[in-house]
Amino acid sequence: MTGPGTPVPGSRRHALVAVSGGLDSAMALHLACRSYDRVRAVWVRTTTANVPPEVRAVTGHLGVPLEVLDSSRDFERQVVAWSGEMLSRGLTPNPCARCNALVKMPGPFGMLDDREDLLTGHYARMGNDGLHRGVDGEKDQSYFLSMVRRQVLDRCVFPLGGMSKTEVRRRAEKLGLPFRRMESMDLCFQTAAKGAPGDVVDLRGNRLGTHSGVERFTIGQRKGLGALGRRMYVVALDPVRRTVTVGGREDLMVRGCTLELMNWLEGPFSGSFSVLAQTRYRRRPVPAVVETFGAGDGGMLTIEFRGGEEAVAPGQVCALYLASRVIGGGTIVSTRKE
């Protein structure tokens, strides 16, 4: 596994670094320049936007040639249109995981020659035994990489995986690296999904109020429900009836869920086995038992949470771990109370 903060190239002495203009990719580019004989950078265009000035600034500062990969059509089709379709079905998409799997990672991967590693600024670690969590628990991004194909990950080095975000920022500022100071937290696009109004109801079907569209809600959400008299949470969405069902926090608890479109980074496994399951970014993974059916990638499986899990949203990614190692990920298609 790569050491803390320093990529360790194996037999490959050249690097292709994906840059965005942000802090993390700037530091990844700097570390690549220290460790590899030849480095080039790529900025992946996902919209009609021009190359950010910070991208040109950091590549110029480090003397690294920059290439632009236009993936805007793939992004529109695979991420933007897909997200709108998911929302219209009352599901909660995970566009960042989808983008990593189908656009941001496979695009640069396709540019690699036999001598190159692919470096990104993700807080994760890649070793001989696979993908692992980054050491910074608050910033770990292995969850977002769980849907990326193993053959892509095998060519990746994540030089920030052994560092904390605080350390990365401190070192970048000390080095005088140019980077975008504002950290992006919102979606980088807007969907075309336009919701129709409907009713907010309780678990018995009693009408409590109205809403402006089920597309605006996700399981576990509190904001946007209006004054309901007590603290309520979204527990179900029905895009056909246009209803948002609310309940107490205790009503968010589920016993299990079903995953589809499995992407196995190890195995694939079969039968029953124990894992740690993470159903949202920055949510603590919980002990669970997996039962597989449908062999290989693209198959399905069921998960039984040993102590239950709260606010599991169909459409989200569920990443499966053995300790810190990611063994696969899939899309949540349904949940069950019993």
Please check whether residues 227 and 263 belong to one and the same domain. Answer: no
Res. 81: pLDDT tops 80 = yes
Please check whether residues 38 and 165 belong to one and the same domain. Answer: yes
Report pLDDT for 269: 78
Contacts of 181 (CB under 8 A, 6+ apart): none
Q: Does the annotation mark 188 as catalytic?
A: yes
Look at residue 184 and tell me if it is in a domain.
no
Look at residue 259 and tell me if it is in a domain.
yes
Report pLDDT for 3: 44
Q: Give the residue, 1 or 99, on which the prediction is more confident.
A: 99
Residue 327 domain boundaries: 253-336
Report pLDDT for 184: 64
Please check whether residues 133 and 264 belong to one and the same domain. Answer: no
Please check whether residues 81 and 204 belong to one and the same domain. Answer: no
Look at residue 46 and tell me if it is in a domain.
yes
Report pLDDT for 5: 42
Report pLDDT for 192: 59
Report pLDDT for 20: 96
Instruction: Pick the last residue of a domain from 119, 141, 175.
Output: 175
Check if the beta carbon of residue 23 is closer than 8 Å to that of residue 169: yes
The structural domain count of the chain equals 3
Report pLDDT for 181: 83
Please check whether residues 19 and 167 belong to one and the same domain. Answer: yes
Look at residue 60 and tell me if it is in a domain.
yes
Report pLDDT for 2: 46
CATH number, domain containing residue 310: 2.40.30.10
Look at residue 3 and tell me if it is in a domain.
no
CATH number, domain containing residue 144: 3.40.50.620
Q: Which of 96, 99, 156, 257 is catalytic?
A: 99
Q: Does the annotation mark 156 as catalytic?
A: no
- What is the mean pLDDT of the segment spanning 86-105? 96
Q: Give the residue, 149 or 3, on which the prediction is more confident.
A: 149
Look at residue 83 and tell me if it is in a domain.
yes
Give the model confidence (pLDDT) of 244-286 as tens digits: 999 999 999 999 999 999 999 998 777 899 999 999 999 999 9
Give the model confidence (pLDDT) of 1-41 as tens digits: 544 444 455 568 999 999 999 999 999 999 999 999 999 99
Res. 103: pLDDT tops 90 = yes
Instruction: Pick the last residue of a domain from 114, 142, 175.
Output: 175
Report pLDDT for 320: 97
Please check whether residues 141 and 242 belong to one and the same domain. Answer: no
Please check whether residues 29 and 165 belong to one and the same domain. Answer: yes
Look at residue 211 and tell me if it is in a domain.
yes
- What is the mean pLDDT of the segment spanning 173-181? 95
CATH number, domain containing residue 214: 2.30.30
Please check whether residues 150 and 78 belong to one and the same domain. Answer: yes
Please check whether residues 222 and 260 belong to one and the same domain. Answer: no
Q: Could you give the percent of the chain with pLDDT greater than 90?
A: 82
Both tokens of residue 190? 């807007």
Report pLDDT for 298: 73
Q: Which of 156, 188, 257, 318 is catalytic?
A: 188
Report pLDDT for 1: 52
Instruction: Pick the last residue of a domain from 230, 247, 264.
Output: 247
Please check whether residues 227 and 289 belong to one and the same domain. Answer: no
Look at residue 19 and tell me if it is in a domain.
yes
Please check whether residues 96 and 157 belong to one and the same domain. Answer: yes
Res. 300: pLDDT tops 50 = yes
β-partners of residue 317 are: 331
β-partners of residue 126 are: 131
Please check whether residues 232 and 258 belong to one and the same domain. Answer: no
Give the model confidence (pLDDT) of 178-226 as tens digits: 999 877 656 676 665 677 899 999 999 999 999 999 999 999 999 878 7
Confidence of residue 123 (pLDDT cuts 50, 70, 90): very high
